Structure 1
Amino acid sequence: MTKQALTLKQSGIRWLALALLVFIADIGIKYVVMNTMSYGWENRIEILPFFNLVYVHNFGAAFSFLSDQTGWQRWLFSAIAFAVVAFLVFSMRRASASDKWSNIAYALIIGGAVGNVFDRIVHGFVIDYLDVHWANHHWPAFNLADSAICIGAVMIVFEGFFAKKDQ
């Protein structure tokens, strides 16, 4: 085995399999939602008193940020996602495969970011389908990709608080 291959095997790159899993699950769920649910809030499916399934489009970013713009935001958010993914893959390449916490966090963010970029490029919007609410106060609709990104980001923040002082 070459030194380069050994180095790749020992790096965090191997955790990209988790990113691929997140991406495939996200796209698969979105495909099912698009092909089985009717579009719009009025067609939501009530699952629990605080949780619905709904099929909606998000032309913006988190919390529909810039969704009312003419379409340029689609490319801006895609470019930002590609830059973040490139940085995280580079970071995983430099990390040890045994650094599970960081690599899992990076993989979750990468899988979610690529899932949402796929939507932006293919559809021109992100498909959201999860609706959490309390009475008439609704959290903005989101999807598995958004959840993976948020969980990964929280893991990175926790790591910052609880990292060993000698590092």
Structure 2
Amino acid sequence: MRPGFSFHQNTERSLSARTLGYLIALISFAVDQASKLGMLYGFEIEAVMRREGPVSVAPFLDLVLVWNRGISYGLLQQDSELGRYLLIGLAVVASILLSVWLWRLTDRLTALGLGLILGGALGNGLDRILHGAVVDLFHFHWGTFSWYVFNLADVWIVVGAAFLVYESFFGSKDTADKSGRNDAANQ
């Protein structure tokens, strides 16, 4: 790692955890939306799917278009406008709570994880507002095994959650000291 940049240290030359988290949220949101807009309007995936079906990128990856009106793994499918607005409201509330949590952070790895989750939540939330459903594009499969169709926002959310789980189990000594998990060792 470069001097002056660490996930767990705050120096005058490095970004604060808060700034890092919000920057990651903005970048992940922008990349997610750019990929969706590129596939919808540049590649015109909807027309391609009608003409040719799924586009094989690799033996294990296809580009497809699925309008997900539910939440993760297609759960809680909402075909009504009320359901759509409830899911938009849930995304707004979750994004606000994540933003408040991020605002209070001093740990950079946690901020990175929350930033990814926030960027993904905002990306999928904007899809619901603009399209009435989340735009899912990538389908992994192997032999008879088929993974669900997802987008980059889903990837950011999963990776961000993995960072939070990692931090909760293997966080730095500084993080453990701040949270009080290491009180016995400090006495």
TM-score range, shorter chain: 0.7 to 0.9
Which residue is equivalent to 1:72? 82
What is the aligned-residue identity percentage? 32
Query: 2:138 aligned with 1:115, yes or no?
Result: no
Which residue is equivalent to 2:28? 22
The structure that has the greater radius of gyration is 2
TM-score w.r.t. length of structure 2? 0.76
The C-alpha deviation readout for 1:56-113, integer Å capped at 9, x for no partner, is 21111111112264343322222222222111211221112xx220111011011110
Which residue is equivalent to 2:145? 137
**Structure 2: where are the runs of 5+ without partners?**
1-14, 180-187
Q: Is the 8 A contact 1:53 1:131 kept in 2?
A: yes
The 1-side partners of 2:78 and 2:119 are apart by 26
Which residue is equivalent to 2:6? none
Which residue is equivalent to 1:6? none
Which residue is equivalent to 1:37? 44
Q: 1:46 aligns with which of 53, 56, 71?
A: 56
Tell me by how many angstroms 1:10 deviates: 4.6
SS in 1 for 2:70: coil
Which residue is equivalent to 2:65? 55
Root-mean-square deviation (Å):
2.0
The C-alpha deviation readout for 1:5-50, integer Å capped at 9, x for no partner, is xxxx856145312111111111111011112234349621111111
TM-score w.r.t. length of structure 1? 0.84
Query: 2:111 aligned with 1:103, yes or no?
Result: yes
For 1:162, give the aligned amino acid.
Answer: F
